Structure 1
Amino acid sequence: MTERLPDRAASDVVLIVDDVPDNLSLLHDALDEAGYVVLVAVDGESALQRAAQADPDIVLLDAAMPGMDGFEVARRLKADADTAHIPIIFMTGLTETEHVMAAFRAGGVDYVTKPIRPQEVLARMVVHMQSAREKRQARNALDAFGHATMAIHVTPRLADSKAVWQTPLARELMQRYFEAAPGQIPQELAQWLHEQSLTAGEGREPKPLAVTRGERQLVFSLQQRTSDDDWLIVMREVSDAAAVDAVLQAFKLTLREAEVLYWVAKGKTNRDIGDILGSSPATVKKHLEHVFEKLGVETRNAAASLAIQKVRALAPWHGG
């Protein structure tokens, strides 16, 4: 029988992973009383399955379990693009520094020591879920405006470089252009990033990387360093279709109005645009009047200038 997915609209979802029934019962009751939807798993394999199926808002993970321990569960959750965003709080009786460091290296954001104090767990959960929610909203907002973004961890051995996180749009573009698995960084991209990092301290403007596939081109831009070895990368797809879509979103035009404005910005006449779009010059002129009204301008040059200014960050204009 298929397990019914939790009602996410009702409350946050928490996955507790522990092989000790008393620990599960204690936390389950406290979280249930606090209004959370609670899922449980008693071993590593079932934890991975439930996380993949239910996409919980947070995981409370026992470090020491027979078979697959909590550290390995965390590593697998973080290696999977579909679950990498979920914050993990380790629950452990292992308080030596090496075990605490192992928890963070495996991808944990925090840890609590046993015996478990439910109110302490609840307080830490709230902080980490809020942080994860804000990050997810920010990444979704980037995608909504056409900014496919990812953070890359660069290692001395370039082949070991990997994506620390990436927006859904970035993941889609990486798969489409490179057939890259989630988190995988192609050699071409790693080499470019390494070269840019070497010149970053010299005050030189970072040089974009353009990868061409047929009529489309994916442009990578280096934004900033997020830590000693992590770099924030923004990609944008360059094509007529991508630029038209950028115009459409920026000014809330109809598709045909966006196409007309795009070709105006490229310097085409009404007759040229009519030939391209299969319309008469008079129809193009009518669409352009609607564009002027929506943009609050009166001339072609003003409309073209405003369009280029507004969408340059979304889809760079290229000659043609």
Structure 2
Amino acid sequence: MTSDPGVVLIVDDAPENLAMLHEALDAAGYRVLVATDGQSALDRVALLMPDLILLDAMMPGIDGFETCRRLKTDPLTAHIPVVFMTGLTETGHILAGFQAGGVDYLTKPLNPPEVLVRIVAHVRNARQMASARDAVDAAGHAMLSVDSAGCVRWQSPASREWLRGYLSTDGRLPPVAMAWLDARGPDPLSVVVDGRRLSLSRLASDGSGITLLVRKRASVPEPEALTGVCGLTSREAEVLYWVACGKINRDVGEILGMSPRTVDKHLQHVFEKLNVETRTAAASLVMDGTLFSRAFV
């Protein structure tokens, strides 16, 4: 069975260009959408997400450069590859297209066979990227990319769900995450969002932004909830809480105002009472709720 070539949106205010491209793409099996200006293009995308956009650079109203910038600043549409069509061959205009977020450009007059070859390549690459993001989500993680200012460029579906309420109203990472990125702090960064602990890890940087992997863990019960469970004292519960949060003895000591040696003594008592031998095993009991079921056995 032949795979679906995809949906292409053509944005051009010249009827002859629209007719020529529509005919060529339709013959190649693509579903074709058309728009004659930037605002109409944005409205079309809001109704049906295309696999690729062929975008005229110079149009009345919102020009192609601004249209592309608006698409790329919206995490829902930032992943769509944009190929500029332009009669402007000056280096400055070509650079403006790439700086706005375009992946390629075609010089007018257009050559339909060349247009089709480039569309095939860019749609294939975009689908491969989408498959990779979906695979990460299916594995119980998520991905997102942010620019140098911390604004989200794109997000996988799981990332969009998990980080709801965590990003600012303009789609930026919170200050603690930006400080971590700027200082290249220890990887991963661990934060709590809506009672859930998230860890952010750097995956890659392309010069203009950073791709992050997001892992989500169950919330850690507060020390008060752990106190008395399986005979734990309040101090032992505090130590166990911070160990479950991933802290080493030195960090726990600094937080609780005790020496690492004292932390270790409390931890040994915790191990005995929980009948475990390692901090990992103890933390696992806390995270999966087994510790509380033990308390009622």
1:194 maps to which residue? 182
1:162 maps to which residue? 151
2:61 maps to which residue? 67
Taking the aligned partners of 2:41 and 2:291, their CA distance within structure 1 comes to 63
Deviation at 1:12, TM superposition (A): 0.9
Deviation at 1:275, TM superposition (A): 6.2
1:172 paired with 2:161, answer yes
Instruction: Provide closer, same or farther for how the CA distance between residues 211 and 67 of structure 1 changes in structure 2, counting only shifts above 3 A.
Output: same
Taking the aligned partners of 2:81 and 2:137, their CA distance within structure 1 comes to 21
2:26 maps to which residue? 32
Instruction: Provide closer, same or farther for how the CA distance between residues 229 and 106 of structure 1 changes in structure 2, counting only shifts above 3 A.
Output: closer
Q: Decide whether the 8 Å contact of 1:13 with 1:36 is kept in 2.
A: yes
Q: Which amino acid aligns with 1:232?
A: T
1:98 paired with 2:92, answer yes
Structure ID, larger Rg? 2
Report matched runs for 1:202-221 at 5 Å: 206-213=186-193, 215-221=195-201
Q: TM-score, normalised by structure 1?
A: 0.66
Instruction: Provide closer, same or farther for how the CA distance between residues 175 and 122 of structure 1 changes in structure 2, counting only shifts above 3 A.
Output: same
Q: Decide whether the 8 Å contact of 1:192 with 1:209 is kept in 2.
A: yes
Q: Deviations over 1:47-66 (max 9, x none)?
A: 00111211001000000101
Instruction: Provide closer, same or farther for how the CA distance between residues 214 and 152 of structure 1 changes in structure 2, counting only shifts above 3 A.
Output: closer
What is the percentage of aligned positions where both structures have the same residue?
Answer: 45
Q: Deviations over 1:202-228 (max 9, x none)?
A: xxxx343222246422222233x4223
Taking the aligned partners of 1:235 and 1:174, their CA distance within structure 2 comes to 9
The 3-state SS of whatever aligns with 2:163 is helix
Taking the aligned partners of 1:54 and 1:18, their CA distance within structure 2 comes to 18
Q: Decide whether the 8 Å contact of 1:31 with 1:122 is kept in 2.
A: yes
Q: Which amino acid aligns with 2:8?
A: V
1:117 maps to which residue? 111
Taking the aligned partners of 1:192 and 1:272, their CA distance within structure 2 comes to 34
Alignment counterpart, residue 285 of structure 2, candidates 257, 263, 266: 266
The 3-state SS of whatever aligns with 2:95 is helix
Q: Decide whether the 8 Å contact of 1:171 with 1:182 is kept in 2.
A: no
Tell me the matched-pair count: 234
Q: Deviations over 1:227-285 (max 9, x none)?
A: 235333222222169xxxxxxxxxxxxxxxxxxxx9996299x9964766xxxx7xxxx
Taking the aligned partners of 2:31 and 2:24, their CA distance within structure 1 comes to 11
Indicate the larger mover: 122-131 or 229-238: 229-238
Structure 1 residue runs of 5 or longer lacking an equivalent are 1-8, 155-159, 198-205, 242-261, 282-320
1:247 maps to which residue? none
Q: Deviations over 1:88-141 (max 9, x none)?
A: 110000000000000001111000000111111000000000000000110011
Alignment counterpart, residue 205 of structure 2, candidates 226, 244, 252: 226
Q: Which amino acid aligns with 1:219?
A: S
Taking the aligned partners of 1:87 and 1:214, their CA distance within structure 2 comes to 34
Deviation at 1:145, TM superposition (A): 0.9
Deviation at 1:27, TM superposition (A): 0.5
1:134 maps to which residue? 128
Q: Decide whether the 8 Å contact of 1:175 with 1:181 is kept in 2.
A: no
Deviation at 1:187, TM superposition (A): 1.7
Taking the aligned partners of 1:185 and 1:168, their CA distance within structure 2 comes to 17
Q: Give RMSD over aligned pairs.
A: 2.8
Deviation at 1:149, TM superposition (A): 1.6
Indicate the larger mover: 142-151 or 29-38: 142-151
The 3-state SS of whatever aligns with 1:84 is coil
Deviation at 1:10, TM superposition (A): 5.1
Taking the aligned partners of 2:193 and 2:21, their CA distance within structure 1 comes to 52
